[in-house]
Amino acid sequence: MRNIGRLNAEIKFLMAYYGQQQIWWPDNYSWIRIEKFKMPCNINSVSSEVLVTVPENYGYGEPYKDCFIKAGLRVWHPTQYHWVEIPHYFDKENAVNKYYDKNWRYMCIHQDGWNPAKDNIMTYLNQVYTFLCNPFRDWNKRT
């Protein structure tokens, strides 16, 4: 059971930040879509739609962990000097890429160390953006 009060507050925050016409969600709150999510300059698009799946137990201990972004995105590789596939971005049809037929691609970005007092959809989206800024970094190492 999702925490609907919390989700409504997060959606209201998203609408204030991105604009009311940029945010979409179904009646069951199973996902939240942002129409024009800004991409970092190393990605081959200025913006992308982002669909964040809302876990069944969100707000009661389960963090955001999956999102989908538009097809065809590539990242500029800093040492190979050409566009390459984004790591953790699955551009092929498979079981986890359930929106493949709608031109979405699965992106595996898990919100580790989730703190319900501090974290929300904006911190998750910030994590997605930060990852896209440097997707070749070893994110398991602490620096």
Angle of the 121-133 helix axis to the 4-18 helix axis, nearest 10: 50
Residue with tokens 């890429």: 97
pLDDT the model gives residue 90: 75
Report d(CA 129, CA 40) in Å as an integer: 7
- The CA distance from 65 to 106, in Å, is 11
| Beta carbons of 32 and 107 less than 8 angstroms apart | no
pLDDT in tens, 10-40: 999 999 999 999 999 999 999 999 999 999 9
Q: How many CA atoms lie within 13 A of 103 on its CB side?
A: 5
Question: What average pLDDT does the structure give for the chain?
Answer: 89
Query: 39-76 pLDDT, tens per residue?
Result: 999 999 999 999 999 999 998 888 898 899 988 899 99
pLDDT in tens, 80-114: 899 998 888 877 776 677 777 888 888 888 777 78
pLDDT score, position 107: 86
**pLDDT for res 87:** 84
pLDDT of amino acid 142? 60
